[in-house]
């Protein structure tokens, strides 16, 4: 698995470039910067934050199981699930970028879950090339963000969420780039993305936070690949089928919920995505050899 860069790790990595962290206690994190001081190469990894960049300067973006040559101004939308790296080709790198967390957006309850947005969708295209007029418009939004975050306005973070909202909608009017090149051997990255996507669904915090991805087809659709490609990659890298990986993780979570919560069997079943408690009981018994209630009885 690729390492995960945290917000704190971002500032530590860029400390010598003078990027300083703005404290936003209780509302997540948001910050905006010029790209002029960015390092020419960023490490290939996932981040635990979202990032929107206006890239002005040539380079290569390595993203998931593919890469693209950026030779004109472009917007890049990166999410916490998919790893990426940037390799600048020349020293003339300008533009802007902002980074923010889910908590920052949810605090304002404006944009919903960004993973559901076409711009951040797993398997979608994260790059949008912009023309001169679009570049001026997007640059103007970033400049407004810079001015706002430096202001003393009491509701400035609400304004910043509004600018993010506007930036997302302006980009959705554009056509995403379609000239990505795929790596010859993408099995490792496909399997890694699947495992990360599977793990992100856990732990289950409440019965209402039910599993949305439960079958190989669900995961293949989210990753925008054919289910046969997903199954082949997962089997090649992990030695287990996609279904076996999903089942093992569901049973692991079921055991944790049975042992460490006071939820009844129905609540656990619904939380794990089963429409009927009986389906869950049969599923659990088939995999473990004993019923959920038997496990609980043995813990008493």
Q: Write the pLDDT tens digit of every residue in 97-106.
A: 999 998 898 8
Nearest to 57 by CA among 99, 17, 102, 87: 87
Nearest to 234 by CA among 278, 280, 187: 187
- Same domain assignment for residues 105 and 205: no
Count of domains observed in the chain: 2
| Alpha helices for 14-131 (secondary structure H) | 102-108
Peptide bond into 54 cis (omega under 30): no
Mean residue pLDDT across the chain? 88
- Same domain assignment for residues 195 and 170: no
- Same domain assignment for residues 24 and 166: yes
- Same domain assignment for residues 217 and 157: no
- Least confidently predicted of 17-21, 74-78, 251-255: 17-21
- Same domain assignment for residues 79 and 107: yes
- Least confidently predicted of 75-79, 117-121, 153-157, 180-184: 180-184
Q: How confident is the model at residue 17 (pLDDT cuts 50, 70, 90)?
A: confident
The domain in which residue 197 lies consists of 185-299
- Same domain assignment for residues 189 and 170: no
Q: In the predicted model, is pLDDT for residue 1 greater than 60? A: no
- Same domain assignment for residues 57 and 155: yes
What's the CATH code of the domain at 66? 2.60.120.280
- Same domain assignment for residues 195 and 119: no
- Same domain assignment for residues 17 and 112: yes
Using the 3D structure, point to which of 130, 153, 181 is the last residue of a domain: 181
Nearest to 165 by CA among 64, 7, 8, 30: 30
- Least confidently predicted of 31-40, 119-128, 275-284: 119-128
- Least confidently predicted of 16-25, 31-40, 72-81, 268-277: 16-25
Q: How confident is the model at residue 108 (pLDDT cuts 50, 70, 90)?
A: low
Q: What is the pLDDT of residues 207-263, one digit of tens each?
A: 777 788 899 999 888 777 889 989 999 999 999 999 999 999 999 999 999 999 999
- Same domain assignment for residues 114 and 203: no
Using the 3D structure, point to which of 133, 152, 181 is the last residue of a domain: 181
- Same domain assignment for residues 74 and 192: no
Using the 3D structure, point to which of 137, 161, 181 is the last residue of a domain: 181
- Same domain assignment for residues 18 and 108: yes
Instruction: Give the HSE-up count for residue 109: Cα atoms under 13 Å, Cβ half-sphere.
Output: 0
What's the CATH code of the domain at 214? 1.10.10.60
Total length of the chain: 300
């Amino acid at each position: 698995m690729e390492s995960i860069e945290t917000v704190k790790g971002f500032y530590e990595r860029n400390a010598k470039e003078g990027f300083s962290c703005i404290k936003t206690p209780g509302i997540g994190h948001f910050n905006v910067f010029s790209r002029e001081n960015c390092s020419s190469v960023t490490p290939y990894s996932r981040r635990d934050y979202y990032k929107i960049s206006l890239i002005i300067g040539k380079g290569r973006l390595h993203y998931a199981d593919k890469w693209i040559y950026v030779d004109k101004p472009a917007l890049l939308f990166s999410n916490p699930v998919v790893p990426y790296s940037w390799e600048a080709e020349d020293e003339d790198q300008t533009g802007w970028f902002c980074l923010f967390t889910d908590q920052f957006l949810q605090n304002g309850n404006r944009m919903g879950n960004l993973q559901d947005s076409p711009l951040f969708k797993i398997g979608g295209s994260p790059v949008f090339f912009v023309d001169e007029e679009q570049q001026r418009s997007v640059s103007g939004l970033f400049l407004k963000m810079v001015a706002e975050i430096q202001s003393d306005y009491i509701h400035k973070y609400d304004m910043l969420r509004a600018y993010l909202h506007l930036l997302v909608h302006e980009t959705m009017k554009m056509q995403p780039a379609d000239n990505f090149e795929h790596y010859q051997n993408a099995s490792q990255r496909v399997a890694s993305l699947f495992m990360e996507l599977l793990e992100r669904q856990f732990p289950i915090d409440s019965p209402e936070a039910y599993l949305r991805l439960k079958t190989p087809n669900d995961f293949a659709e989210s990753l925008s690949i054919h289910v046969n490609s997903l199954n082949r990659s997962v089997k090649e890298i992990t030695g287990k089928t996609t279904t076996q990986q999903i089942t093992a993780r569901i049973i692991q979570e079921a055991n944790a919920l049975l042992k460490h919560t006071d939820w009844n069997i129905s609540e656990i079943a619904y939380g794990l995505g089963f429409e009927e408690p009986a389906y869950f009981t049969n599923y659990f018994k088939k995999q473990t050899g004993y019923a959920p209630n038997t496990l609980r009885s043995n813990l008493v």
